[in-house]
Amino acid sequence: MKFRHYGIAATLASTLALANPAYAVTELQWWHAMTGGNNDIVNKLAEEFNASQPDYKVVPSFKGNYPDTMNAGIAAFRAGNAPHIIQVFEVGTATMMSATGAIKPVYQLMKDANEPFDPKAYLPAITGYYSTSKGDMLSFPFNSSSMVMWINKDELKKAGVAGIPKTWPEVFDAARKLKAAGHATCGFSNAWTTWANIEQFSAWHNVPIGTKANGLDGFDTVLNFNGPLQVRHLQNLVDMEKDKTYDYSGRGNASEARFASGECAIFLTSSGYYGTVKGTAKFDFTSAPMPYYPDAPGAPQNSIIGGASLWVMGGKKPDEYKGVAKFFTFLSDTNRQVYLHEESGYLPITKAAYEKTKADGFYQKNPVLETPLKELTNKEPTENSRGLRFGNMVQMRDIWAEEIEAALAGQKTAQAALDAAVARGNTMLRAFEKTAK
């Protein structure tokens, strides 16, 4: 009996030894939040990278939605076994960058690993969001999108709307016509209520969300998005909610189906919605830049990005960092970026990839995919439109949304709601500032 056990053990040991190639492969854990088609892309990227060189093996694992993935990373760090690379959504940026020691800034990583890295090769509208005010890149942009206005061309034509509306007054006008033509429950709407009506709206009109360049220049930023323009816009929405010329669609993007089902013919949401809408919409649709108020000076400015970036966790071995740096170089390759862009609808992160897609004539066939890029590069970004960085942003969005909901439900005026959103947000910012010191 005993001998047989030894025999099994020996067989196992030799099998294990065989499974290990002669050279040591360094495993790099990559935690991400990508589902569906984008999950396949993540796995394909890892496979291609692993096949392209013998020393490193990137192991992707899906960890749930964005907040889940970020929390899994935080919990793993506290337990001492953080992954090498973690995908964090844009609103988690302030939390990640304040965690000195828990993360390894990308510019530092590339320098230490002696990887060729030129920050100027990347699109500033995208990397600016993930860089310090000095321009040092902290995390590596992975999937980026922006907000666009999706248009149901068939329904607009039926309602007698000539051309695609460009300004907010034109949108309101079109919404009234749509409503009269049978869209009784929804003239127009939007997903991601705070991203649309506070964050993108402010950047697009070149008005501040907070001081210190919307928080990019320091955690002592103070919110001030209760200015006249933002209040005027929210009040317009409140007035139109009464008869459903505008109809609220919730905080996230669960109601995007209202566009694909034909209920809402004008709908503002992420450009990343392309992946879904191209398969579900049974009508002629397109995307257009977000509307603006023509009397607002400087509007339209430029939009800001959404999406997620890859953060490198701290406390790993130099050899492992070398592998991560090589992986980022691999991701930055122009052809690979072009492929990612055309396949997923997310934005290319390098200038070369954007130019190549343009030169290939891709946008002539798919103008929908160029809309967010045109918005992002519309003008040279200002203090108000480079991006935003507020601590506790995940929960802050919920608080802002609560106040917007209170206004839309008629419990408060637009001014009172935005004043409360600013005041409550500032309390959270001061609490964050204390922990981030």
Partner 1 sequence: MEKSVVFNGKLLPYLLLVPQLIITLVFFYWPASQAFWQSFLREDAFGLRSEFIGLENYQTLFAQPEYYKAMLTTLIFSTLVAVLSLAIALLFATQADKKLKAAAFYKTFMIWPYAVAPAVAGVLWIFMFHPSLGTLARPLRWMGFDWNPLLNGNHAMALVVMAAVWKQIAYNFLFFLAGLQSIPKSVLEAGAIDGAGPMRRFWTIVFPLLSPTTFFLLVVNIVYVFFDTFGIIDAVTEGGPAGATTTMVYKVYADGRLGGDLGSSAAQSVVLMAIVIALTAIQFRYVERKVQY
The contact set with partner 1 (CB under 8 A) reads: 67, 71, 74, 77-78, 95, 98-102, 185-186, 241, 248-252, 254-255, 257-258, 261, 263, 392, 394-395, 398, 401-403, 405-406, 408-409, 411, 428, 431, 434-437
Q: By CB neighbour count within 10 A (0-12 exposed, 13-18 middle, 19+ buried), where does 107 fall?
A: middle
CB of 257 to partner 1, least distance (A): 6
User: Closest Cα partner for 384 from 221, 245, 262, 256?
Assistant: 221
The angle at the Cα of 134, spanning 230 to 111, to the nearest 5 degrees, equals 135
Sheet holding 189-190, edge to edge: 189-190, 266-270, 147-152, 285-288
**Smallest distance from partner 1 to CB 146, Å:** 24
Query: Shortest gap between Cβ of 280 and partner 1 (angstroms)?
Result: 13
Whether the CA torsion 118, 121, 124, 128 is positive or negative: it is negative
Residue 67 or 298 having the CB closest to partner 1: 67
Nearest residue (CB) to partner 1, 172 versus 432: 432
Strand pairing category for 140-145 and 306-313: antiparallel
Q: Which is nearer to partner 1, 312 or 349 (CB)?
A: 312
Question: For residue 364, what are its two tokens?
Answer: 């002539």
Least distance CB 158 / partner 1 (angstroms): 19
- State the nearest-atom distance from the C-beta of 435 to partner 1, in Å: 4
Output 115 or 402, the one with its CB closest to partner 1.
Answer: 402
Q: Could you tell me the smallest distance in angstroms from the CB atom of residue 7 to partner 1? A: 37
What does the alpha-carbon distance between residue 294 and residue 436 come to, in Å, rounded to a whole number?
40
Q: How far is the CB of 397 from partner 1 (least distance, A)?
A: 9
Minimum distance of partner 1 from residue 228's CB (angstroms): 23
Concatenated DSSP letters for 234-267? HHHHHHHHTTTSB----SSSGGGHHHHTTS-SEE
Q: How far apart are CA 112 and CA 329, in angstroms?
A: 14
Closest distance of CB 248 from partner 1, Å: 5
Q: Dig out the tokens for 248 from the structure.
A: 């609220």
Q: Specify the residue, 12 or 431, whose C-beta has the smaller distance to partner 1.
A: 431
First to last CA, the chain: 64
The CA-based dihedral angle spanning residues 323, 328, 331, 334, taken in that order and rounded to the nearest 10 degrees: -120
Q: Of the two residues 299 and 404, which places its CB atom closer to partner 1 in the complex?
A: 404
Taking the least distance from each CB to partner 1, the nearer of 121 and 416 is 416
Nearer to partner 1, 341 or 389 (CB): 389
Nearest to 428, CA basis, from 124, 63, 33, 94: 94
Asked if 422 and 396 touch (Cβ cutoff 8 Å), the reply is no
Residue (92 or 289) nearer to partner 1, CB: 92
The least distance separating partner 1 from the CB of residue 426, rounded to whole angstroms, comes to: 14
Nearer to partner 1, 77 or 225 (CB): 77
Integer angstrom CA distances of residue 12 from 2, 6, 16, 20, 23: 15, 10, 6, 13, 20
- What backbone torsions phi and psi does residue 194 show, to the nearest 5 degrees? -80, -35
| 140-145/266-270 β-pairing | unpaired
